[in-house]
A and B are shown apart, each in its own frame.
Chain A
Amino acid sequence: MNTVISDTLVRVRSLRFAFGPRVIYDGIDIDIMRGKVTAILGPSGTGKTTLLRLIGGQWKPDAGSIEFDGINVHQQSRSELFELRKRMGLLFQSGALLTDLTVFENVAFPLREHTRFPESMIRDLVLMKLEAVGLRGAADLYPGQISGGMGRRVALARAIALEPDMIMYDEPFTGQDPISMGVLIRLIQGLNQSLGLTSVIVTHDVEDVLKIADYVYVVSGGKVLDHGSPDQIRNSKSALVRQFLNGEADGPVSFHYKSATTYEQDLMAGRA
């Protein structure tokens, strides 16, 4: 299973990261292969979003390295890092749309910032991207006038506007109805096949992501629990992975957030 893949776009090695005393990652290795859909699964609160921000160079790891196409992300100057980021898109869970611009202007934003395309070309490109996510009709609305799920689709249109090498999706399926969910899944697959785009999907939405992923990592408690193809993950021998896939409250992964005191102690403490 631990085969070294030659065509790796992102190489994460013995990554360590902590928020103060709380260790998020305790030495993880992840390879993201070029042109493939890689899913990173894990219970909420395991720092999946943190991983994307680390790859994007917004936060610095405490130890270990992250390479994007052979370039160490955290050893770049600010301007080099910005150059690198033009090649990766990050789809924030909140969408992170600019609220004082219309949907159209939001998608046009990276094009206006980074290219000198004439206005007519920008218009065509934006309308094409919006058509792909089914929101051409919403071009003149403001982010406050559309739903959260629609906002995330606009953010996707914006992320693909510059046609990056890789897109990182942070919980893309949350807040989508079954129809837009199906469209979104086909869209991610389509981008992957037609443009050769590398996709990283971070989610706790197991069933949907196993349908489209080429490779899956299961992360919990700061470690990689298991990795492999979706079929290998479905038949994982790890009790933790099985618990996560089947959604059981009891098992090696605790449903409860770690607490220093027991439930009884907490309840009794109020009587003193």
Chain B
Amino acid sequence: MSFLTPAAEGLRGLGRASLFLLTILATIPGALLRPRLIVQQIYSVGNLSLIIIIISGSFIGMVLALQGYRTLVNFGAASSLGVLVALSIVRELGPVVTGLLFAGRAGTALAAEIGLMKATDQLAGMEMMAVDPIKRVIAPRFIAGLIAMPLLVSIFSMMAIGVAGGHAIGVELLGVDDGSYWSQINQAMHGGDICDMLIKASVFGLAISWIAVYQGYHAAPTSEGVSRATTSTVVVSSLAILALDFVLTAFMFR
């Protein structure tokens, strides 16, 4: 009994969240008719996450290059450094780390914003003005999250592999040949890898946006409720990203 109750509670939460997702999906066609609202939200979740994504991408690429070079040079395979960095980033680190950062930077902001709007009667006020808050507030934010994640993951990967990151350390600092860095990547990486990366990014984007708007919309209308909603957004999204990554990887790289 004592162990069944939290399980039942968890299941009930999942049911509520699924119904909420269906409600959002039903309003998406209407929300798409007002692209300005969506663009605004892409700016606030995407553009404002750019700095953290660019910096993190560069550093993770640099660290990978330092560590990879040390190992590869023992086997005389330092020229494969590019492949090591590129595949690690595109297949795993890019989507996962971007997802975790996006949940922390944009997911929490979404949940807190929606929770506060609820706590201050703004959502109820909209309803009484015959404006559906799901369509006007929730759907544009949800769509924006979906669109922003693949873009951010792509930017993260470019920073980590080429622009700064691995290239800066491997080629500029450690003296790996520029030509072999790129040509090895070119040989080892396929369109399918990029495709998998974008699939992962989209799935994580869906999960984070869904969790964030659900937590915000169902937050208790108090300061504690809003703080709990932001915390749960980070915790649940992070776990969801790691679990989904495992499932997706298992299917993609059998």
Most buried by B among A88, A89, A96, A113: A96
- Which B residues lie within 8 Å of A88 (CB)? 128
- Which A residues lie within 8 Å of B128 (CB)? 56, 58, 85, 88-90, 92
Question: Are A99 and B120 closer than 8 Å at their CB atoms?
Answer: yes
Interface size on A, residues (CB 8 A): 25
- Which A residues lie within 8 Å of B132 (CB)? 78, 82
Question: Are B131 and A96 closer than 8 Å at their CB atoms?
Answer: no
Question: Are A99 and B130 closer than 8 Å at their CB atoms?
Answer: no
Interface size on B, residues (CB 8 A): 14
| Interface presence of A83 (CB below 8 A) | yes
Q: Mark B113-131, 1 if CB is under 8 A from A, else 0.
A: 0000100111011111111
| Interface presence of A116 (CB below 8 A) | no
Residue in B closest to A161 when the chains form the complex, CB atoms:
B129
Question: Are A92 and B121 closer than 8 Å at their CB atoms?
Answer: yes
- Which A residues lie within 8 Å of B105 (CB)? none
Question: Are A85 and B130 closer than 8 Å at their CB atoms?
Answer: yes
Q: How far is the CA of A94 from the CA of B124 in the complex (A)?
A: 11
Q: Mark A46-78, 1 if CB is under 8 A from B, else 0.
A: 000000010010100000000000000000001
User: Which residue of A83, A86, A92 is within 8 Å of B125 (Cβ)?
Assistant: A92
Q: Mark B26-57, 1 if CB is under 8 A from A, else 0.
A: 00000000000000000000000000000000
- Which A residues lie within 8 Å of B218 (CB)? none
Question: Are B124 and A96 closer than 8 Å at their CB atoms?
Answer: yes
CB distance from B109 to the nearest CB of A (A): 12
| Interface presence of A222 (CB below 8 A) | no
Question: Are B125 and A82 closer than 8 Å at their CB atoms?
Answer: no
Q: How far is the CA of A162 from the CA of B129 in the complex (A)?
A: 9
Q: Mark A180-207, 1 if CB is under 8 A from B, else 0.
A: 0000000000000000000000000000
- Which A residues lie within 8 Å of B122 (CB)? 96-99
Q: How far is the CA of A82 from the CA of B132 in the complex (A)?
A: 8
Question: Are A58 and B124 closer than 8 Å at their CB atoms?
Answer: yes
| Interface presence of A114 (CB below 8 A) | yes
- Which B residues lie within 8 Å of A95 (CB)? 121
Question: Are B130 and A114 closer than 8 Å at their CB atoms?
Answer: yes
Q: How far is the CA of A85 from the CA of B122 in the complex (A)?
A: 16
Question: Are B124 and A113 closer than 8 Å at their CB atoms?
Answer: no
CB distance from A175 to the nearest CB of B (A): 15
Residue in B closest to A92 when the chains form the complex, CB atoms:
B121
CB distance from B175 to the nearest CB of A (A): 52
CB distance from A190 to the nearest CB of B (A): 22
Question: Are A58 and B120 closer than 8 Å at their CB atoms?
Answer: no
| Interface presence of A109 (CB below 8 A) | yes
| Interface presence of B136 (CB below 8 A) | yes
CB distance from B193 to the nearest CB of A (A): 41
Question: Are A113 and B131 closer than 8 Å at their CB atoms?
Answer: yes
Q: How far is the CA of A88 from the CA of B122 in the complex (A)?
A: 17
User: Which residue of B120, B121, B129 is within 8 Å of A110 (Cβ)?
Assistant: B129
- Which A residues lie within 8 Å of B125 (CB)? 90, 92, 96-98, 155
- Which A residues lie within 8 Å of B121 (CB)? 92, 94-96
Q: How far is the CA of A106 from the CA of B122 in the complex (A)?
A: 11
Most buried by A among B120, B125, B127: B125
User: Which residue of B117, B120, B127, B136 is within 8 Å of A85 (Cβ)?
Assistant: B127
Q: How far is the CA of A98 from the CA of B120 in the complex (A)?
A: 9
Q: How far is the CA of A109 from the CA of B126 in the complex (A)?
A: 9
- List which A23-64 residues lie within 8 A (CB) of chain B: 53, 56, 58
Q: How far is the CA of A158 from the CA of B125 in the complex (A)?
A: 11
Enumerate chain B interface residues (CB-CB to A < 8 A). 117, 120-122, 124-132, 136
In the assembled complex, 30 residue pairs joining A and B whose CB atoms fall closer than 8 Å, in A order, are A56-B128, A58-B124, A58-B127, A58-B128, A83-B130, A85-B127, A85-B129, A86-B130, A88-B128, A89-B128, A90-B125, A90-B128, A92-B121, A92-B124, A92-B125, A92-B128, A94-B121, A95-B121, A96-B122, A97-B122, A97-B125, A98-B117, A98-B122, A98-B126, A99-B122, A110-B131, A113-B130, A113-B131, A113-B136, A155-B125
Enumerate chain A interface residues (CB-CB to B < 8 A). 53, 56, 58, 78, 82-83, 85-86, 88-90, 92, 94-99, 109-110, 113-114, 155, 158, 162
**A-B contact sample (14 more), CB < 8 A, given A83-B130, A97-B122, A162-B129:** A58-B127, A82-B132, A85-B127, A85-B128, A89-B128, A89-B129, A92-B121, A94-B121, A96-B121, A98-B125, A98-B126, A99-B122, A110-B130, A114-B131
